[in-house]
Amino acid sequence: MKIYDISVSLCAELPFFPGDPRVVIEPVTTLSDGDSANASRISMSTHSGTHLDPPRHFDDCGLTVDALPLSLLVGRALVFHISGTRAIGPAELARLPLAGEERLLLRTDNSRLWGERAFVEDFTHITPQGARFLVEKGVKLVGIDYLSVEKADGNGDVHRILLENGVVILEGLDLSAVEAGIYELICLPLKIRGGDGAPARALLRSMELPGTDLHTTRWPLA
């Protein structure tokens, strides 16, 4: 069994979504200054780096991050590669074997953007039509490999379509080393009381599933 860390490291160099505060990590005490231990202060958005969007993100009465059921954040997940497009809609998502799959992680051309220190506005995103498609298919968690599931100048429709229908959003993933396939997702956000979001440590564990080949159009193989 192989374990993949699909989280990005929180640091001052991490890109941040326009309007959000950047990550700031400041030493409070240091051994080099004669203090008894090293300790630091962290300042950042609840939507920094790899993070989870619960319904509260777009609804004052929505479920908060600390109230999300762990059963949603841990379990079987489908990782799929979509390349060559900036807008993921029903046509792209219809290729996926989503029947019975509750967790979907999308590896896109965004994977190479983590090498850029500045925020890149022209990233791959899900369209409102794509969001409705995922809701109709019964997906309960969708993840993507950049800082938003929605385009940079979006009006929030993609978030609202997903969150209002109980689909939790996992953003800021690093899927660059992950092949398409079925995995076990373990996603543990910070338990922020009343949180509209929270940074998370997200992992994938490989699952051996004979007869499934995500590089073909046969689902599963006969």
In a domain, 26, yes or no: no
Backbone angles phi, psi at 161, to 5 degrees: -60, -45
> What CATH number does residue 109 fall under?
3.50.30.50
In a domain, 30, yes or no: no
Question: Model confidence over 123-146: pLDDT tens digits?
Answer: 999 999 999 999 999 999 999 999
pLDDT more than 90, % of the chain: 92
- Residue 215, pLDDT > 50, answer no
22 three-state secondary structure? coil
Q: Greatest CA span in the chain, whole angstroms? A: 67
In a domain, 107, yes or no: yes
In a domain, 36, yes or no: no
pLDDT at site 1: 87
In a domain, 16, yes or no: no
Question: Model confidence over 56-103: pLDDT tens digits?
Answer: 999 999 999 999 999 999 999 999 999 999 999 999 999 999 999 999
* 150: confidence class by pLDDT, cuts 50, 70, 90: very high
Average pLDDT score, the chain: 93
Structural domain harbouring 139: 3-9+46-206
In a domain, 33, yes or no: no
In a domain, 67, yes or no: yes
For the question of whether the overall pTM of this predicted structure is more than 0.85, the answer is: yes
In the set 57, 81, 125, 215, the catalytic residue is 57
pLDDT at site 207: 83
Measured at the CA of 161, the angle between CA 158 and CA 167, to 5 degrees, comes to: 100
**Residue 101 and residue 139 in contact, taking contact as beta carbons nearer than 8 Å:** yes
Is 57 an annotated catalytic residue? yes
Domain count along the chain? 1
**Residue 17 and residue 48 in contact, taking contact as beta carbons nearer than 8 Å:** no
In a domain, 137, yes or no: yes
